[in-house]
Structure 1
C-alpha cells in the first residue's frame, strides 16, 4: 500500500506515547483517538450534535449487528452508513467476528468462515473473509477490519495457536479480496495470540507482511486481569510498525487507556463510558462516582465544577440522582453526555501533554487523582 495515511507529529521523550493523524475518506482522525461505540449506527441515547459538542471525531459500528438489522443492502440503498445516520465524520467498522462467537446461539468454525445462527431470530448466516469485506464496503466504512478469531480467556495454548493460524489465513483472503474492490475504505490487520507472547510475536510476523493500513491488537479485555491486559498490549505494540496506527480493541477504562497511550498505542474503543453513563456510573478527574448514592440527594454542585459539558453546565448532582433513581430516560442521556465529554477531554489533554513533552508526569498525576471518587472518598 504505497500511499501513507498515517502521519506522526510528536513523540513523548519519556514514554512511547505519540500523536499523529490518520487520513480517511471522511476527514482526519487525530491520534490518540477514542471511538465511541455506535453498534447499530447510533451511540446509545446520544444525538449527533451531542457527539460533535464532545469533540468526537470518529465512531465505531458493528458489522454483525448491522448485517442482521437492517442489513447492508438497505443501508447501501440509503446512501451508505454515513448518510443513513447523518454522520459526516469517519466511521470504523469491526468485522463482526467477535459477536458471531459471543452472541450467536449456534456457531461452527470452518476453514471457510463462521457459520452461525442469529441471536435475534435463529436464522442461519455465514461470515467468510470475503463476505465481511463486502458488507463493510456496502456500509461505506472508512476503516474496516478483516474476519478474525477472538479467543476467550483463559484459553489453552493449542487452541490459541489454531486461532492465530486461522486468523492469518483469513487475513490473506480478506486482503486479496479487498484489493479487487474499487471504492473502499482503509483496511487494518488484526493480531491475535491470547496471553502467549510467542504467539503474539508469531501473529505479528505473519500479519505485518500483508501490508495493511494499520494494525489492531485483538483478543484482549476478554476477562484477563488488568496487569495481563497491559503486559500483552505493551508487548504487542512494541512489535508493530512505527509508521502505522495501532488500535487496541475493546479496552476503555481511563487508566488503561493512558497506560496504553504510554505504550505507543493510538486508537481505542469501548462501551464503558456510554454503558456506565446509562446506569449512573460517572467519570471525573477525581475518580468515578455512583450518582445514585444517597450522599448526592441534596448536593447542588454539578458533577464536575470544572467540566464544560452540557450536563455540568446545567444540572446538579441532586437532580441527576433524582432522574436515575426514578428511572427517567433523561438520566442516561445526561450521564452519557458527561462521560463522553470526559473521555474526549482526557484524550485531548493526552495529546496536548505529548506535544509539550510532559505526558509521563501528567499521566501519573491523573492516575493518582482518579484514585478518589466514591471508592476513595475523593469527591
Structure 2
C-alpha cells in the first residue's frame, strides 16, 4: 500500500490568493519564453498553469499520474503522465527564475534588528534522493531575522561546499555562521562584497582552522589564551589578525571565548575521545582543551561588549528551525525522483512555496504588537 502523502499545496479555489503572494511585477509568461519552458502550449494553458503543475507535483505530494488527473479535473491542463513528465523536466530554469524573482522582491523588505544592523544567518542543509547513502543536494541559504525569511536560496549538488560569501550582503549587515564557515579567504570575500556600505560577522571557530597573528606578525597562541580563562562562565577577549590567504592583507579580528559549564565541557571531551577511539587515533591535547570553550571570531568594534557577541551568536539556531520547517512541514526532503532533472523540479517547487510562506511571515512581523510605549 502506498504511503499517504501530506499535501502542502493549496486547494484549486485558493490559487488567486497564492498568486497574489508572488511579486506583482513577476511576468510568468516572459520567464517561460526566456527559459524555453513553454515554447508551445500543447495542453498547458499558460505559464501560470505550468507553475501550478510544478507545485502540485512537488509540495502538493502528487505523483505524475495524479498531477495529470488533477490538472484535467480543475481545468489547468490536459496532459498524459509522460507528457507532463517531459513538460516539468523542461521547466527547471523557469522555476529557478521564479525563485530568483521572489528573493529579489523579498530583499527590499528588511529592517534593522540589532544595534542598527541587519542580522542575517548563513547555513546549508543536505538532501538525498531515494536509495542514496549520502548527500545528493544542498540548499544554501541566508536567513534574515528581522524579515523572518530567506534572502538567499541556492540549490547545488553535493560537490558545491558551504561558503560564507553566498548571497551578497546589504550595507550594515551582521552575518552569523557556524564552524563550517570559518574560512579566511571566504570571510575576506564577504567583507569585500559589502564594499563601502560595510558589514560585519560573527563566526564560530575551532582552535586550529583560522591562522592567527599578533601585532608583531608572529603566530598567536590561542590555546594559551584559553588556558588563562579558568572559571565556567568566564569570558576572554583579544584583538588579533587572521590570515586570509597568501599575499593578502591580514584581517583584524576579535576573538571571544567563553568557558562552558563543566557538564557541557565534559560531554564535548567525551565525544572527541570516542571519535578518536573509533578512528584508532590519539586526540590532540589542544583539541581537548578547546572542547571546553565556545570560541567566536568577530569584526564587530570593541564598543560592542564581548557578552553581547556571545548572546547574539545563539540566534543562529533560527536558520536551523527554518530548515526544519522545510523538512517537517513542506517535506522537501522526501524526494521521489531518481534523476537530477527530476530532483531540481521537485526542489525548486518547494523553494517557491517556502518563499511564499515567508511573505506571510513578513506581513505578520510588520504588524507585530510592540507592547506598551
Fold shared per TM-score above 0.5: no
* Rg comparison, structure with higher value: 2
Q: TM-score, normalised by structure 2?
A: 0.30
